[in-house]
Structure 1
Amino acid sequence: MEHLVEHMRASHHSPHEPRCGVCGKHCRSLDALRDHLGFGASLPPKPACATAFAAKGCSLCLAVFPSSGSLRAHSPTCHHSRAPVPSRSMPRVPVGGVVALGCKMVGGGSDGTLDVCGRVCVIDENEAIVFENFVRPLLPVTHYRYETTGIRPEYLRDAPTVKMMQRQVEAILLNGEQPWKVRSSRGAARLLVGHGLEHDLDALGMDYPAYLKRDTAEYPPLMKTSGRLMSNSLRFLTQSCLGYDIQTGHQHPYEDCVAAMRLYKRMSSMRHGPPKNGGEDDACAAVAFPARRQRELERMSPEELLSMSKPDYHCWCLDD
């Protein structure tokens, strides 16, 4: 039992880490788990796990089922289809405490390489558009990037300014909460989901507390593990984890919002089972293992360590 106790003190496995459904091994990311199961490209697989997964494993959620029949019943619910972009509608009240944000950037500066926001979209947990509009940047636009954004000069000429969009998005996020109170207490403020949230918020001239953000670009299980953790693109994550393609042709920020929200719900369900309250999880401390908690573990007896059902020192708070 001593070696098990020492392992528990040293390993500090996070409930965020994906695990092999055959042998239970903790993997650092989904990429590492794919390598372990035999369909990655970096490392050789574990033969026994690869054989079992090839027969009864889902290539999207990486779960292993007791029979091929269970796998066939699961497949239609796991494989998402591309969400059709709805026609523009009037703003509506978001459902639940989680919203997703997406922006499309046009080019500013002398060479058009400076990203400035040209279009913004916010959706709720049910993938319904809460707010969507073109944005008139404060800087002159020198490259509209029409091939990917589909934005033309006339779309931005009479559009609301960035400052107006900032107030609209902040009102949705704060949900009636006072800005000063959000820093110290969650209250009624909503969780914000997205991919590369810092980039989008900077383009809108906004800030939002880290403990209320869920950024799929900085969530370790969704990142690359070749040498060091690096962000995967939203397009790659959508194809590999949800089973469909996005960002082809003219890109709408609605598609990015939907993909980020679906990734958030999938990763939450992998850790907690089916999400409660529309996918909202309990906010707590940072991803990093607190030194104080480590000292508490070191003072525990072997019996207390073994009685712990699972670690309680991690949460999905991706930006701390």
Structure 2
Amino acid sequence: MPPLKKGGKIEAKDVAPNWKVLQMKLKEEEANAPPKEKKEIPFKSSKKKRKVNDTGETEIPGAKKMRREEVPVTGEDKEKGELTRVIAIDCEYVGVGEGGKDDNLARVSIVNEGGKIVYDKYVRPKMKVVDYRTAVSGIRPAHLINASRFEDVQKEVHKIMEGRIVVGHALHNDMRVLALSHPRKLTRDTYKCKAIRQLLNPPVAHPSLKLLASKILGIDIQQGEHDSIIDARVALRIYLNMKAKWEDEIKRYK
């Protein structure tokens, strides 16, 4: 500090040089000081964690679910598609044996989860056809002239179904004429679903596909000859409409 003048005052001209020296020292100390550690603030995402449901689909909280139940129910759509985790199947039969009372497989149709055709073949019955049941089955003699062998169709359908969720109506009948079986946990039969039966008023123990289509989907089917592609699509559409309740019912009874 500069010496005091008489009267205890310090002249400004004496302070200025010393003040500049002090400022220079402070700058040097600041430059030589070790760098300060930056405090890391943990990153917190504003996005909610996405959940994956039992079918392997990603659920996005707050997001509108895509409406997949609008599967076409027309038989005019012949577009083919790839196999998916969920498929729907329907079969048509002809009458064999005494009086044509026994069933033989005559057609198999399978669609994917989008309702696109993945398999559709006429099948040569193993026994002589007594009744084509055309009014219901839609099967005519011309359909079976160049039809596939039963054993070939059986193998192909078994391979398609393997490991997949199979949807249909009264699937026990289709499996019977195919001489196949499918794991119960992978079977979704609109004929047996309790959640579906509860929607009917009055309740029906074993509802027809025609009734379910009318009550649940509000559409009329099977006005004349049946079409296995249409019936497979209808069963699939019912499943997709009822999927949440249906899968919840399955989980409760596992």
Fold shared by both chains (TM-score > 0.5): yes
Candidates 186, 192, 195, aligned match of 1:221: 195
Tell me the residue number matched to 1:245.
220
Alignment of structure 1 residues 253-264 onto 2, 5 Å = 253-264=228-239
**Which blocks of at least 5 consecutive residues in structure 2 are unaligned?**
1-66
Give the one of 198, 212, 230 matched to 2:205: 230
Q: For residue 15 of structure 2, what is the aligned residue in structure 1?
A: none
- Aligned pair partner of 2:73 in 73, 83, 93: 83
1:132 matched to which residue of 2? 120
Equivalent position to 1:150, from 127, 131, 138: 138
**Residues 59-80 of structure 1 deviation map (CA, whole Å, 9 limit, x = unaligned):** xxxxxxxxxxxxxxxxxx8996
Partner Cα distance (1:87, 1:236) in 2: 23
Per-residue deviation at 1:192?
Answer: 0.4
Paired amino acid for 2:82: V
Instruction: Give the direction of change, closer, same or farther, for the CA distance of 1:228–1:251 in structure 2 (3 Å limit).
Output: closer
Which residue does 2:147 correspond to in 1?
Answer: 159
Letter in 2 for 1:244: I
Question: Does structure 2 retain, via aligned residues, the 8 Å contact 1:82–1:245?
Answer: no
* Identity %, equivalent residues: 29
Aligned to 1:109: 97
Q: 1:228, CA displacement in angstroms?
A: 8.9
Aligned amino acid, residue 175 of structure 2? L
Larger Rg: 1 or 2? 2
Determine if contact 2:197/2:203 at 8 Å carries over to the other structure.
no
| Equivalent in the alignment of 1:122 | 110
* SS at structure 2 position matched to 1:111: helix
Secondary structure, in 3 states, of the residue corresponding to 2:100? coil
RMSD: 2.9
Residues 1:78 and 1:157: Cα distance change in structure 2 (over 3 Å) = closer
SS state at 1:155 partner: helix
- Please state how far the C-alpha of 1:83 moved relative to its aligned partner: 2.2
Tell me, yes or no, if the aligned pair for 2:72 and 2:233 is still in contact at 8 Å: no
* CA distance in structure 2 between the aligned counterparts of 1:162 and 1:88, rounded to whole angstroms: 23
Question: Separation in 2 of the partners of 1:163 and 1:78?
Answer: 34
Q: Are 1:97 and 1:191, in contact at CA under 8 Å, matched by a contact in 2?
A: yes
CA deviation vs aligned residue, 1:273-314 (integer Å, no higher than 9, x gap):
xxxxxxxx69xxx95xxxxxxxxxxxxxxxxxxxxxxxx634
Q: Aligned partners of 2:114 and 2:243: how far apart in 1?
A: 16
TM-score, normalised by the number of residues in structure 1:
0.53
Check the 8 A contact 1:241/1:263 in 2, yes or no: yes
Aligned equivalent of 2:159 = 171
Q: In 1, Cα distance between the equivalents of 2:103 and 2:197? A: 24
- Contact kept, 8 Å, 1:121 with 1:254, in 2: the verdict is yes
CA contact (8 A) 1:92 1:131 kept: no
* TM superposition outliers: structure 1 runs of 4+ over 6 Å: 77-82, 224-229
Aligned counterparts of 2:241 and 2:77: Cα–Cα separation in 1:
26
Decide whether aligned partners of structure 1 residues 236 and 78 sit closer, same or farther in structure 2, where only a CA change above 3 A counts.
farther
- Please report the TM-score for the alignment, with normalisation by the length of structure 2: 0.66
Question: Cα distance 1:168–1:92, how it changes in 2: closer, same or farther (>3 A)?
Answer: farther
Query: In structure 1, what is the Cα distance between the partners aligned to 2:214 and 2:68?
Result: 12
The equivalent of 1:268 in structure 2 is 243
- How do residues 1-320 of structure 1 correspond to structure 2 at under 5 angstroms? 83-86=73-76, 92-94=81-83, 96-174=84-162, 189-223=163-197, 230-269=205-244, 271=245, 313-314=252-253
Shift in Å, 1:207:
1.0
Contact 1:100 1:123 in 2 (8 A): yes
User: C-alpha distance in 2, partners of 1:227/1:266?
Assistant: 20
